[in-house]
Amino acid sequence: MSESKFLAFDFGAESGRAIVGILKEKKIELHEVHRFPNKIVNVFDNLHWNILYLFDELRTGLTKAVQKGYTDIESIAVDTWGVDFGFVTKDDQLLGSPFAYRDSRTNGMLDKAFNLMPKDELYNLTGIQFMQINSAFQLLSMVESDDTLLNSADKLLFMPDLLNFLLTGKKKSEYTIASTSQLLNAKEKKWEEKIFDALNLPMNLMADIVMPGTKIADLHPSICNAVGLKNTDVIAVGSHDTASAVAAVPNLTSNWAFISSGTWSLIGIETDHPIINENSLKYNFTNEGGVGGKIRFLRNVMGMWIIQQLKKEWGSKGEEYSYSELNEMAGEAFPFKCIIDTDDPGFLNPKSMVNAINEFCNKTGQEQPKSKGEYIRCILESLAFKYRLVIDKINLFIDEKIETINIVGGGSQNELLNQFTSDSTGLKVIAGPVESTAFGNIIVQAIATGKVKNIREGREIIANSVELKEFIPSQKSLWNDKLNRAKKIIV
């Protein structure tokens, strides 16, 4: 049987990868050909992404793929985190450096936006969870500061769209990434003019929307010549990394929820239509675009970010630990010593994550963690409680209760958190695939090029390609006993 090769570029907030996917005999093999760090650059106390560095690493990934013998790649595609964007001019020049969503310029923008457009009206149009990092509020901050970029730009392009532009010269906005912006009408899947008018945002900046599985263009000849590739299609996949990750969930049964676990934890279900009502607004649920015509009804929860920052902070003091070592210490630590609300604004980007946790414990009348194991266990237990509370709320919107949770992404390797999640929710947890975003990216490429029929077949292929691990509740009653305490702390 012939084989087909696809190249996925997955850009995360900490690192990026170039991964070749080989489709053969109803299985996909993944081969990482390039990995590189990604980090925020601080310039005059503003936080930016180094877009030219990221593009250069993308080109390096293409070069390494060719050097490793993958000269017959059928297509390539890019996915990234959501909400951030850059600008280009009419003559195809980059303008400035894209801001990073943790930048402080969006402080106070939610209240300003709600003064211009009522909160419920904004939510009823977009169905998007209110977070100050959302693109709409980033843009509003630029309008408020009379940012000159807005007057010079021809188009606003979200991060994967910007990289696609640098690959092809074409300016398009892929649907799933556009849906994270709080500028898209969730039901009509188009830019919502009422929002642009109310917030005084320039709607002419927005590019035409294309759906996952659309060919953007051929790879630009200058890149083909430089890296040694023939004409290659550049495909718009689920360009929001969570959209690709959810497309790869290998559960073909009903009544399942997903947790895409990484820097953020995204907890939700797939639906055919947006769920927008008083309760979804009350509980701050979001309706993001999915692959295959689906909606991802979910909550964004601060995920492994807090642990990543603790690890970085301790490392800066010469105390280097691997994630497995931190988990081992957490497993031996005293349980339920303290609980934090991982979504508290104090954890978004503090100078010291240790101090932020200590301050949260102080203001909630709890004892502070004393050891590194206690800090990590506190976070993992708090996340598991948060997952439980979100799942309970999702059940309010559906007829048949959730029976299984599929955890995908890098965080699915954390077996302690997986077990805590099963114990906290009382549900079976299926962990994997770890490389869900790459799998989902590649499956949509395979569908776009006619090698796979649809998402269901793609999920069957993924299920055949990976080893999944199950976790069954073992301390359900103990976690239930602690739930009321958690509810008093976690929003």
- List residues with catalytic annotation: 241
The pair of three-digit structure tokens given for residue 328, joined into one six-digit string: 């081992």
Sheet holding 233-236, edge to edge: 27-37, 15-24, 4-11, 75-79, 233-236, 214-218
C-beta atoms surrounding 42 within 10 Å: 11
Sheet holding 264-271, edge to edge: 286-289, 295-302, 264-271, 256-261, 404-408, 428-431, 469-471
Name the CA radius of gyration of the chain, rounded. 22
Task: Provide CB contacts within 8 A for 355, sequence distance 6+.
Answer: none
Count the residues in the chain.
491
The pair of three-digit structure tokens given for residue 77, joined into one six-digit string: 């595609």
Give the number of C-alpha atoms closer than 13 A to the C-alpha of residue 365, restricted to the C-beta side: 3
The pair of three-digit structure tokens given for residue 183, joined into one six-digit string: 């500028």
**What single letter denotes the amino acid at residue 97?**
S
DSSP character string of 457-477: HHHHHHHHHS--EEE--SSHH
Q: Characterize 236-253 residue by residue with b for buried, 16 or more Cβ atoms within 10 angstroms of its Cβ, and e for exposed.
A: bbbbbbbbbbbbbbbbee
**What single letter denotes the amino acid at residue 176?**
T
Nearest to 242 by CA among 420, 80, 360: 80
- H or E stretch at 352: none
DSSP character string of 324-344: HHHHHHHHHSPTTS----TT-
The pair of three-digit structure tokens given for residue 111, joined into one six-digit string: 């209240």
C-alpha to C-alpha distance for 162 and 23, rounded to whole angstroms: 28
C-alpha to C-alpha distance for 344 and 301, rounded to whole angstroms: 10
C-alpha to C-alpha distance for 441 and 8, rounded to whole angstroms: 6
**What single letter denotes the amino acid at residue 403?**
E
DSSP code for 207: P
- H or E stretch at 221: helix 221-227
Q: What is the 3-state secondary structure (H, E, C) of 46-111?
A: EEEECHHHHHHHHHHHHHHHHHCCCCCCCEEEEEECCCCEEEECCCCCEECCCECCCCHHHCCHHH
